[in-house]
Structure 1
Amino acid sequence: MSGTEAQNIYIKANSKRNGIATLLVGLAGLTASAIWIASVPQWLVLAGIFLTSASIVAILVGWFKLREPDYSIELSPEAIRYCHRLGNWRIDWSNLQRFDCPRVRQGLDFNELDAIGFKLKDYAPFIQSVSPRLATHLLMEQRPLLLQNRDESCATGTCFGNEFLDDSRYVLENGEVLTGVRAMLANRMAQLRKQLGFDVFLSSVELDRAPGDFVQLLKDCEQSRPR
């Protein structure tokens, strides 16, 4: 990797693929269902209604795919940047302590999650790069991670407390006091570090390859960046 933008690496999420095709299939199905309903006997109208419903779903799926940015991740010599329709986050390579596929305990075995985890040196630069809307989305999206590697003595689930939505103040290393949704995000990151060893997570749906292959790409980028 070099310092020029032309040589940055752009990752297009698998979930972004086939957006136009899905939208066109939905529109074609909606047209066909309209013709069907208008031309068939009354006892066959129900099939047309089912086709209409399926077509509307396809149109919505295609529309949401097209709303997402053209790429989900940008790898530059300076940073890893995640792009979402609700905002972006950025992790500078200099602020990255380690990254890998998180592993969770299941009985006597350890299995890898279908995600990439990042452990930061300092929360402040990352928190400052996240918009409130994206922070809210991350809090909702990563809630299932809190159920991983929990205390097995917690049989009822009542010992989870308010960790799902911890809105207490958070003090960064630079002394800045966070409140509101950013404090909630920082508390969530701290809890996930305690349970899984990482602060920030990328789901495999945001990638264009298997998580293990993406980790290797990150290692190659990190080793080749200017020092």
Structure 2
Amino acid sequence: METYHVKSAPITPYVMLFVFCFTASISASCLTFFIPTMTLLATILSTTLIGISAVIVIRYICDSKYLFTLTFMHCQYHSRYGGWSTPWRNISQLGKAEISHQGWQQPLPWIGIKLNDYDDFIKNISPRLAARIIIEQRILLVMAIKHSDVDNHNIEDVLFDDEPYQSKNGNIFKGLRAMLAHRMEYNREFLGFDFFISEDTLDRPINDFIGLLRRYKAAAIRQ
């Protein structure tokens, strides 16, 4: 299959908010000329709105043009925090994340990915992205543990497990990489997947994106 670039989710709301903030800041600045008694208030408001506008512009500039690159060999994720890449053959399962509780399945707006082997993924992932995954995806693990029937897990110990991690291949990871590896194991135990992709970042409905990934994976296996 041909290389396919998946663009990140539309950022039109950010642009609209920027235009609003910019217009509001100009309007607030004009108040200093026409309403002298409101000079201090207008200046504070103007400064605040300009600051918000600047943050949005930086976010707009820094966001990646592409979210994923799909080739016949691998799946690669891009972000302003770095990225990760894994061959299709190393992905054992793709699907929508769910939480099980008393026989009920609660779907979550996240795509789950389960790997055959952690080593290359852990070695090559951007440290900044690894930290981002640990922080942003912890809520999924918290919810899964709270809905599970297992009561012998201390949530804080699970979330911040940074003990040295030895993989099945004998590689030893420490620090942030060890924390990510442990997190992936806990995710697998309670959620069935190692890590996740938020629906909010996708350019299409979550089921369509899962279908796209599965088609590339199937094509890679056939070759």
Identity of aligned residues (%): 28
Question: Aligned to 1:114, what secondary structure does the other structure show?
Answer: strand
| 2:218 counterpart residue number | 223
Question: Aligned to 1:77, what secondary structure does the other structure show?
Answer: coil
Shift of residue 88 of structure 1? 0.8
Structure 1, unaligned stretches of length 5 or more? 3-7
Kindly report structure 1 stretches of 4+ aligned residues shifted beyond 6 Å: none
Q: 1:126 aligns with which of 114, 118, 121?
A: 121
Shift of residue 89 of structure 1? 0.4
Shift of residue 48 of structure 1? 6.7
CA distance in 2, matches of 1:10, 1:38: 50
CA distance in 2, matches of 1:15, 1:53: 26
| 2:21 counterpart residue number | 26
| 1:5 counterpart residue number | none
TM-score, scaled to structure 2: 0.86
Shift of residue 199 of structure 1? 0.5
Cα RMSD over matched residues? 2.6
Structure 2, unaligned stretches of length 5 or more? none
TM-score, scaled to structure 1: 0.85
| 1:99 counterpart residue number | 94
AA paired with 1:27? F
CA distance in 2, matches of 1:205, 1:39: 43
Question: Aligned to 1:137, what secondary structure does the other structure show?
Answer: helix
| 2:63 counterpart residue number | 68
| 1:143 counterpart residue number | 138
| 2:106 counterpart residue number | 111
* Shift in alpha-carbon separation, 1:43–1:20, aligned structure 2, 3 A: closer
Q: Does 1:202 align with 2:201?
A: no
Q: How many residues align?
A: 220
* Shift in alpha-carbon separation, 1:22–1:11, aligned structure 2, 3 A: farther
1:96-123 superposed Cα distances (whole Å, 9 cap, x missing partner): 1010001113555212111100000000
| 1:89 counterpart residue number | 84
CA distance in 1, matches of 2:11, 2:38: 39
CA distance in 2, matches of 1:170, 1:58: 43
Shift of residue 222 of structure 1? 2.4
* Shift in alpha-carbon separation, 1:153–1:138, aligned structure 2, 3 A: closer
Q: 1:53 aligns with which of 48, 51, 73?
A: 48
Question: Aligned to 2:169, what secondary structure does the other structure show?
Answer: coil
